[in-house]
Amino acid sequence: MSSVQRTLVLVKPDGVARGLTGEVLRRIEAKGYRLVALELRTAPAALLEEHYAEHAGKPFYAPLVEFMGSGPLVAAVVEGDRVIEGFRSLAGTTDPTTAVPGTIRGDLGRDWGLPVAQNIVHGSDSPESAAREIGLWFPGV
Ligand code: RTP
Ligand code: MG
């Protein structure tokens, strides 16, 4: 079934600091997905709080917002056939220690990194999340 979608991808500050931006973008493009928007920026807390609003109140919420604002990240809008599910598949599961080898987190991530997992990338988890997140990070795209 063909269904062209857009998703929001973030190369998190740990990924940028470790020089993995190119590797993440390479995997996205090698899969056949297309970059629609791309920007390096240090995100303000207000944007990150809104981005991760679903996790407000959880123990890792404040450390997550702090970690995500700790340095530059790369934000991208990526387009392709079933890309929302497809990029989550490329990224692997949340905990990099147990993420399957072959995935970004499984190949390149190391520690759970308490109090918050430093797992290189973010990808929207549903069409509703993708629309909301793209609107937040790239209004007008
Ligand atoms: P993301 O939203 O960043 O794409 O990651 P995800 O869907 O795989 O995981 P999610 O449950 O949405 O959690 C968001 C991010 O919060 C950090 N986290 N740390 N130590 C912990 O208990 C914990 N739980 C979540 C991770 O950076 C995770 O990606
Ligand atoms: Mg998530």
User: pLDDT for 13-65, tens place per residue?
Assistant: 999 999 999 999 999 999 999 999 999 999 999 999 999 999 999 999 999 99
Nearest CA to ligand 1 atom 9: 94
From residue 127, give the alpha-carbon distance in Å to each of 15, 80, 88. 25, 13, 12
Interface ipTM > 0.90: yes
**Residues taking part in catalysis:** 122
Instruction: Report if residue 10 sits inside a domain.
Output: yes
**Residue 12 marked in a binding site:** yes
Taking a C-beta distance cutoff of 8 angstroms, is the pair 96, 110 a contact? yes
Q: Which atom of ligand 1 is nearest to the CA of 123?
A: 4
pTM (2 d.p.): 0.96
Q: Which atom of ligand 1 is nearest to the CA of 114?
A: 20
State the Rg of the chain over Cα.
14
Q: What total of structural domains would you count in the chain? A: 1
Expressed in angstroms and rounded, the spacing between residue 39 Cα and the centre of ligand 1 is: 22
Instruction: Report if residue 78 sits inside a domain.
Output: yes
Instruction: Report if residue 103 sits inside a domain.
Output: yes
Q: Which of 41, 123, 121, 127 is nearest to 78 (CA)?
A: 123
Instruction: Report if residue 8 sits inside a domain.
Output: yes
Q: Which domain holds residue 46?
A: 4-109
**Which has the minimum average pLDDT: 6-10, 107-111, 117-121?**
107-111
Nearest CA to ligand 1 atom 26: 117
Instruction: Report if residue 122 sits inside a domain.
Output: no
Expressed in angstroms and rounded, the spacing between residue 85 Cα and the centre of ligand 2 is: 12
- Domain harbouring 101, CATH code: 3.30.70.141
